[in-house]
Chains A and B, each alone.
Chain A
Amino acid sequence: MLSYLARRIALMVPTLLGVALITFFMLRVVPGDIVEMKLRSDGGYVTQELIATERARLGLDRPLVTQFAEWMQGLVTLDLGTSMWTGRPVAEEIGTRFGLTLQVSVMAAIISVLIAIPLGTLSAIFRDTWVDYLVRVFTIAGLAVPAFWLGMLIILGLLALFHWSPPVTYTPFWQSPLENLSQLIWPALAVGYRYAAVVARMVRSSIIEVMKEDYIRTARAKGVFERLVVMRHAMRNALLPAITVAGLEFAFLIGGLVVTEQVFNLNGIGRLFVEAVSRSDFILIQALVMLLALVFVTMNLVIDMLYGVLDPRVRHG
């Protein structure tokens, strides 16, 4: 088990290196120059020398390979460089925001899975009845409704019902857990809907698949209560593919937050990313991409590990 884990972690390195290479060189084939853009937006007359000194200060005048090597060295030592725009260390910019985004996405994931598993199961057991149709309409709609619009609708509803609008600053969890949760539940629901829909669809189809198996017939034949057949025999096996989907979609949940954070005034990673893109702050963009890729790769690893725990057939030696 441990050696398998070590091997898997070692395998993450080439993937992350690939992501780093693609991001780094993609961002540097750009025609525009961020330095010139930044200086111009600051106002005043921009001379060629001024651009040159600023480029030298940011280390942009050195060969690309050197820049890449330095970036890699920085990544290993967690020194992510300084934001080209704000001039603050990237690690600091990310550190102050990562917690919020992580909290909302974990909340969204937990709520969605808690909703999705019963819904998917009900839909599968009552296949082709009105229960099934209701759930299917709910899930198909979940794939079509944009998360940011759902967020806006939630705000609209809360405004009408409770005169609540998204706070300018969010209360940290350790200050007042209840207030924090009551503020963050709404963005979590907005991004979680699609996630719940995807997972519920997967649960439904895999339970329908499993219910055709011989061991389900055997269990029924020996007189096991139907409830137990579903809960013990079917769900255990049916949830495996659902876990895969849930894990894979988690990275996309963070992706969904990129847009939804704007709606709720959340000062998280997503918003930082959008700001970095609108300002062509490459140092910040590449650091954020690496962070998201790391989350994705780690989630894949976690799923594989969970698989081993839940399914003895794929236990890793």
Chain B
Amino acid sequence: MSVSTSDEMVPPTRRRAWRSSPVLRFVLAQPLGAAGLLVILIMAGAAILANRVAPYDPEAVDFMAMLAAPSFDHPLGTDAFGRDILSRIIHGARTALSIGFLSSLLGCTAGGLLGVTSAYFGGKVDLILQRFVDIVLSFPIIVLALVVVAVVGRQPIAGIDLNLIAAIAIPIVPRAARVIRSAALAVRAMPYIDAARAGGYRHSHIILRHMAPNVLAPYLILLTAYIAQAILLEASLSFLGLGVSEPKPAWGLMLAGDSANFYQEAPWMILFPGLAISLAVFAFNLFGDSLRDWLDPKFRM
């Protein structure tokens, strides 16, 4: 009885609102994914508020504190130029998350549209597009990204690393296209698509308004999964000296060049940026996996 009275104390509308909150239901059903989401939110917060959170200017050179070990002043130590590693990691989160998100968004959206279009038209269009996708899929991700870098060059376009975003997004396109196409094929068979065609809507209208919204679940899953891949790829390219360039703080860049000369003197230069990359990728993978289980248990990537 006592249980029912406590239930009655909450107005029914509020209680329903509380229960139907999608965020809360996600946290309860997928605690691991929620943990991943929490890490992502903390990183995003640090990235947005980097100027306030970071103890030092990430580009400030301090020759009095070169290669300083982690201490109270510099919690994660300093690099060969005396720059504070914690501050560089916090500012690096900005680089990693913005490039990771934008390139995954671009790649998945382009790939998704390609996939939906391919599924909608079927027949010859589908055959040709899928053949193209197959061919592009035979480039390993990093190889295609490097070829794009060779094409678009290493100079940021208009102050933004658009060249880098393109290099990361393009290898994602065929992969997203393939997954979204298979989801869209099921949508294509739905009677409402035939109804829309009979209704005389334009192809573009049916594709964008009738088909695309119905593959939103796999699209969101892909988007999260490929942010993880994109962060990893950005770090790799920056590490190779073909991504973000100095003095801009980026995790991959912090591991590049000089840091390898200081294996013995300053292992913290290697340890912490790598941990940041791994943690970010781990968090997005965890969140992406849970999102998949939650949105679409049958869906396999």
- Listed in ascending order, the chain A residues whose CB lies under 8 Å from chain B are 15, 18-19, 22-23, 26-27, 29-32, 140-141, 143-146, 148-149, 152-153, 155-156, 159, 165, 251-252, 254-256, 258-259, 262-263, 273-274, 276-278, 280, 282, 285, 289, 292-293, 296-297
Do A140 and B255 form a contact, CB below 8 Å, given A18-B132, A18-B135?
Answer: no
**A19-B138 contact, Cβ under 8 Å, with A140-B286, A141-B282, A273-B143:** yes
Assess A289 versus B147: contact at CB under 8 Å? Given A19-B138, A159-B263.
Answer: yes
Show the binding face of B for A, using Cβ within 8 Å.
131-132, 134-136, 138-143, 146-151, 153, 228, 232, 235-236, 239-242, 252, 255, 260, 263-264, 267, 270-271, 274, 277-279, 281-282, 285-286
- Kindly name the residue among A23, A155, A159 whose own CB sees the greatest number of chain B CB atoms within 10 A: A23
Contacts of A285 in B (CB 8 A): 147, 150
Other-chain residue from A18, A153, A251 in contact with B274 (beta carbon distance below 8 A): A153
Q: Is the CB of A156 within 8 A of B263?
A: yes
Query: Nearest A residue to B284 by beta-carbon distance?
Result: A144
Chain B residues with CB under 8 Å of A140's CB are 282, 285-286
Which residue from chain B places its CB closest to the CB of A20 in the assembled complex? Answer: B135
A255–B240 alpha-carbon span in the complex (Å): 13
Q: Which of B151, B235, B267 contacts A26 (CB 8 A)?
A: B151
Chain B residue contacts of A26, Cβ below 8 A: 147-148, 151
B235 and A146 within 8 A (CB): yes
Are the C-beta atoms of B135 and A289 separated by less than 8 Å?
no
Given contacts A31-B153, A140-B286, 10 further A-B contacts (CB under 8 A): A19-B139, A144-B281, A145-B278, A148-B239, A149-B255, A149-B274, A255-B143, A258-B142, A296-B139, A296-B140
- CA A296 to CA B135, docked complex, whole Å: 11
> Is B131 in contact with A149, judged by CB distance below 8 angstroms?
no
Tell whether, in the assembled complex, residue A18 and residue B131 are in contact, meaning their CB atoms are under 8 Å apart.
yes
What separation, in Å, do the CA atoms of A18 and B255 have in the docked complex? 36
The 9 A-B residue pairs whose C-beta atoms are closest, nearest first, are A255-B140, A149-B274, A18-B135, A144-B282, A144-B281, A255-B142, A277-B150, A296-B138, A144-B278
**CB-defined contacts of A149 to chain B, threshold 8 Å:** 255, 270, 274, 277-278
Contact B147 A156, beta carbon cutoff 8 Å? no
Chain A, Cβ-Cβ closest to B141: A255
Residues of B within 8 A of A19 (CB): 135, 138-139
A251 to B138, CA, bound (A): 9
Among residues of A, the one whose C-beta sits closest to the C-beta of B264 is A159
* Pairs A–B under 8 Å by Cβ, sample size 15: A15-B138, A18-B135, A26-B148, A31-B153, A32-B153, A143-B281, A146-B232, A146-B277, A148-B255, A153-B274, A255-B142, A258-B142, A258-B143, A282-B150, A292-B139
Contacting residues, chain B, for A274 (C-beta < 8 A): 146, 240, 242
Contact B274 A273 (CB under 8 A): no
Residues in B with CB closer than 8 Å to A252 are 140-141
Cβ distance B155 to chain A, nearest Cβ, rounded Å: 10
Q: A26-B147, A159-B263 are in contact. Are A146 and B274 (CB under 8 A)?
A: yes
C-alpha gap A280/B153 in the complex (Å): 9
Say yes or no: A15 contacts B143, CB within 8 Å: no
Q: Which residues of B contact A31 (CB under 8 A)?
A: 153
A81 to chain B, nearest CB (A): 16
Interface pair A15/B135, CB less than 8 Å apart: yes
With a CB–CB cut-off of 8 A, which chain B residues contact A23? Answer: 147
Which of A144, A254, A297 gathers most chain B CB within 10 Å?
A144
A277–B151 Cα gap in the complex (Å)? 9
- Which residues of the other chain, B, contact A165 by a CB distance below 8 angstroms? 263
Q: Are A152 and B260 in contact (CB under 8 A)?
A: yes
User: Please, which residues of chain A bring their CB within 8 A of the CB of B232?
Assistant: 146
B239 cross-chain contacts in A, Cβ below 8 A: 146, 148, 259, 262
Give the Cβ gap from A156 to chain B, nearest Cβ, in Å.
6
